[in-house]
Amino acid sequence: MTTTKGPLSHVRVLDLGRILAAPWAGQILADLGAEVIKVERPGAGDDTRSWGPPFLKDAEGRDTREAGYYLAVNRGKRSITVSLEKPEGQKIIKELAARADIVLENYKVGTLARYGLDEASLRKVNPRLIYCSVTGFGQTGPRRDQPAYDFLIQAMGGLMSVTGEHDGRPGGGPQKVGIPIVDLMTGMYTAVSVLAALARRNESGVGDAIDIAMLDVQVATLSNQAMNYLVSGKVPQRNGNAHPNIQPQDVYACADGDVILVVGNDGQFAKLCEVFGQTDWVKDERFATNAQRVRNIGELSVLLRDMFAKWERNSLIAALDKAGVPCGAINSVADVFNEPQVKAREMLRYVSHPSGVDAPQVASPMRFADVPLQTQSAPPLLGQHSEDILAELGYSAAGIEALRGAGAI
């Protein structure tokens, strides 16, 4: 039996996050049906609102105040403006925390304690609260007080040391990943953490405090490259698009364009050899097993590049697809949304925006059989729901106007 309510429709989240990591976690929870209230600075809001161009266009084709960056991480939320520096604003946050299950925040260590809005203070108001702090370096350690951004953490956390071509090759040198991957992975770990704490609270009745550090996340997601170093003592190097442990996996040039090849096991390598009419490679001791192919990829790559150059891209992709060898073209972002598989999965959706247009949204990848996720509301305008949320807390119209006059909202 299916239901229209998301699996977290019973959960309330107070999102004090800015920029990307914490808001990304908040959006995941909103996609899952949670009520997420986004708290923003009066007049300015989340920094990402202004991180453009591009900006969403209104019905007349004019730029709105909503940058694409902001629109990527805030759907399904309600926005209230609150000044944390004002006593009246601090009171509002405590009232919201008293009703919340989860608080997300990514202020510098110690900032919210100055306002009486830290974990210890809010859990006095609500002992069942799950309070998650997201920072660059965590709540402990010599860098705890320092700010951080995705680019910096990609560098410090080793990701850039294994991303990009060798120094001696054209375009060689360290590269950051083309999306803010540390922010996004931090948001994912944050969402997992608060849901684990929620599950524990259902058994114990006790809330929790969670400390998520972007640098920790990046170190954890070094994954196979970290373990390659730890078991061998050899420092991983940049290797372009080639995989350090599985071969052949790389970008290869056909007669009319590039393709990627992803051979994951010896059986797929044998099928690749059949397509190329080179079945003797399977018996060649240099290439017979993955371990040998990794050791001898230089020799194998020369042979493969010669083979790829003889094919047109679409013909080779079709032949390898039929043989069961993973391969594909390198899509642009525009190509991605024209990809038949992406269309079939309805990954691009549109939601009505207060500016009078339909705003594009990249759908959640989560698919539930019994609780299919609904397309959430558009990312909110700054303070769009302030009056509604305050009314729910019991504030009168006159009280709300007084807060506005005091600069608290």
In the chain, where does the domain assigned CATH 3.40.50.10540 lie?
12-221+347-405
Q: Which two tokens stand for residue 42?
A: 């009066």
**Can you give the pLDDT at residue 1?**
46
**Can you give the pLDDT at residue 398?**
97
Low-confidence ranges of the chain (pLDDT < 70): 1-4
Contact by Cβ (8 Å): 38, 77 = yes
Q: How many CA atoms are closer than 13 Å to the CA of 140, on its beta-carbon side?
A: 3
CATH topology for 12-221+347-405 is: Rossmann fold (3.40.50)
Annotation marks residue 150 as catalytic: no
Cα(5)–Cα(309) distance, integer angstroms = 53
Q: Which two tokens stand for residue 41?
A: 């600075």
Q: Which residue pairs, CB below 8 angstroms and at least 24 apart, start in 146-154?
A: 147/108, 148/214, 148/215, 150/20, 150/180, 150/181, 150/182, 150/183, 150/214, 151/176, 153/182, 153/214, 153/215, 153/217, 153/218, 154/181, 154/182, 154/218
In the chain, where does the domain assigned CATH 3.30.1540.10 lie?
249-337
**Which entry of 183, 208, 216, 250 is annotated as an active-site residue?**
183
Domain spanning 249-337, CATH architecture? 2-Layer Sandwich (3.30)
Amino acid at the residue 118:
D
Backbone angles phi, psi at 152, to 5 degrees: -60, -45
Provide the b/e sequence for 60-96 (b: ≥16 CB within 10 Å): eeeebebbebbbbbbbbbbbbbbbbebeebbebbbbb
